[in-house]
Amino acid sequence: MEKKVFVITILSLFAIYTCNAQNDSSRSKNDKKNSKSVTNAPLQFNTFKDTVSYLIGTDLAKNFINNQLDIDINYLKAGYEDVLNNVDTIFTDQEFQSVMQKLQKIAMEKSEAKRLEEAKLNKEVGQKFLESNKNNPGVYQTPSGLQYKVIKMGEGPKPTSTDKVKVHYEGKLINGKVFDSSYERGEPIEFGLNQVIPGWAEGLTLMPVGSVFELYIPSDLAYGDRPIGEIPAGSTLIFKVELLEIVK
């Protein structure tokens, strides 16, 4: 079988797993230029090829472990060497594609299960926060579950659900981590109330122009079970929002 099969295999593995390598914060800072193989024979890294070969091996192994993929190193090595030595592999291209599709499906199912579990846990933590927060002085809760606190009450008109507004804002998680801020960028943002998450749309209609509110938004009124950027799935969000004007 042609060498392209080996190339496709590596690319497929990287397509499925390499995205997780960037999130692997557990990489050792104590890597040594002199290491030992599984045979306990010392490894000497004399060329760039030596280093690249070793690091690709460690990266693949870490990704396999992170994704709980059960790999038999002997079969992995056998498949690699067969292709490298121009030996016809046991499986046809069609069989290869079928197995890779199944592998992708398994990886996606595991990823989805993990996301849903994280969302469930985050929603539970968020609900506990909101249950406690609603009893704090100055905090109000609407029938939808949105909570808000008036920091400054403006004297202008209130926007409607079809209006476009200009605001400054800071968004953070309930642990205090800031994930977005127009204040930091030094520039307010304009948007229609029909273009934002439900918690924002509702909260802004409560605010006269010139107001500064703090909004406490349950996940169902935010991004739900979807992770968005630095926002984990199922997160309750806190926004400081300053309504500057209704844009005509």
Active-site residues, by number, are 169, 179-180, 197, 223, 239
For residue 52, CA distances in Å to 5, 13, 39, 56 come to 21, 17, 20, 6
Which residue type, as a one-letter code, is found at position 72? D
For residue 174, CA distances in Å to 56, 139, 147 come to 38, 15, 13
- Residue 5, φ and ψ in degrees, nearest 5: -60, -40
d(CA 63, CA 65): 5
d(CA 106, CA 161): 43
Which residue type, as a one-letter code, is found at position 74? N
Q: What residues contact 6, with CB distance under 8 A and at least 6 apart?
A: 80, 83, 84
Tokens 């909570």 correspond to what residue?
Answer: 147
Grouping H, G, I as helix, E, B as strand and the rest as coil, residue 181 is strand
